[in-house]
Amino acid sequence: MNYKLSLLVAVAATAMTASVAKADIAVATAGPITGQYATFGEQMKKGIEQAVADINAAGGVLGQKLKLEVGDDACDPKQAVAVANQLAKAGVKFVAGHFCSGSSIPASQVYAEEGVLQISPASTNPKLTEQNLKNVLRVCGRDDQQGQIAGKYLLDNYKGKNVAILHDKSAYGKGLADETQKALNAGGQKEKIYEAYTAGEKDYSALVSKLKQEAVDVVYVGGYHTEAGLLARQMKDQGLNAPIVSGDALVTNEYWAITGPAGENTMMTFGPDPREMPEAKEAVEKFRKAGYEPEGYTLYTYAALQIWAEAAKQANSTDSAKIADVLRKNSYNTVIGKIGFDAKGDVTSPAYVWYRWNNGQYAQVK
């Protein structure tokens, strides 16, 4: 009787051990799944869903399949902290997120405390990696890099003209506007207007009237596509034909859905279009076959999980500290090209190029 009982206990223990060994590894993305910036949350969700499917089809990570969790922060800093805590409590090992810098920065503190590795596909505010948190990286560039390019563009094309710089008060928008202002001023030109606006409002006619009164020739917008789109449309309505120049948050077809023809000739900075890279061909075909166009940060999110999965294999562990060490020592072939990281967790070869909106589509300026 005792022998049979011991045998049963041993079998049960073996089964439990095997079950634990083969348990799924929880990974996540977190971003604005709902709210006015939900188009970017959808990009992130679609990107990581396909990456999880492809990695699992290839055998998973360390013999284990990946299980996806999705957190919705609505680009709200407080909600982002709550989401970060929820994901950590759920045992998530890796987060591709967040989207808004104002969410990524406070959430990163939670991930640091809980030992979760974070790679943002989209948060560009320098402060994210200037915190020197070992577990925090990003696969996009930084606002000080975007701002340098934007400032040079304004100097080259609007020297001696009336330049307006606007921002939405967010970590991303204000940070980008400030870096652009800094580059413009360093080139010997002072902006005509530097003004903040409130995100989420619908009527910017008073601001537009001020821009018109000051006879501005170009408007730089540090902010997201929703407000930039409304500004473009309301500028057109008031007969102000100054073009809008902005950053990577306008990389969505929703911008034109808001502006219509008023968005013509809007300029924006973003990385080279990953959809045109040979490394992305197979993934892009899968997205398009499923009826989804992988624009904006879709492939950046895919790449973030690709990098983590490969680093976990190299470290032979899902421990964040071990993976973080590996990440900074190697480079990785991804759908957005070859990626390496510096000591802070920034990409070692960031590149921003110009895009122009024309007839309802945006394309890289060659």
**How far is Cα 113 from Cα 88, in angstroms, rounded to an integer?**
10
β partners of residue 220:
165, 245
User: pLDDT value at position 22?
Assistant: 64
pLDDT for 14 equals 44
Per-residue pLDDT of the chain (366 residues; tens, 9 = 90+): 444 444 444 444 444 444 444 689 999 999 999 999 999 999 999 999 999 999 999 999 999 999 999 999 999 999 999 999 999 999 999 999 999 999 999 999 999 999 999 999 999 999 999 999 999 999 999 999 999 999 999 999 999 999 999 999 999 999 999 999 999 999 999 999 999 999 999 999 999 999 999 999 999 999 999 999 999 999 999 999 999 999 999 999 999 999 999 999 999 999 999 999 999 999 999 999 999 999 999 999 999 999 999 999 999 999 999 999 999 999 999 999 999 999 999 999 878 999 999 999 999 998
Say whether 26 sits in a helix, a strand or coil.
Answer: strand
Query: DSSP assignment, residue 23?
Result: P
pLDDT value, residue 366: 85
Q: Distance between CA atoms of 33 and 88, rounded to whole angstroms?
A: 19
Cα 165 from Cα 183, distance rounded (Å):
12
Q: What per-residue confidence (pLDDT) applies to 349?
A: 83
Query: What pLDDT, on a 0 to 100 scale, did the predictor assign at position 11?
Result: 43
The span from the CA of 353 to the CA of 348, in Å, is 16
pTM of the model: 0.89
State the Cα–Cα distance between residues 50 and 222, nearest whole angstrom: 31
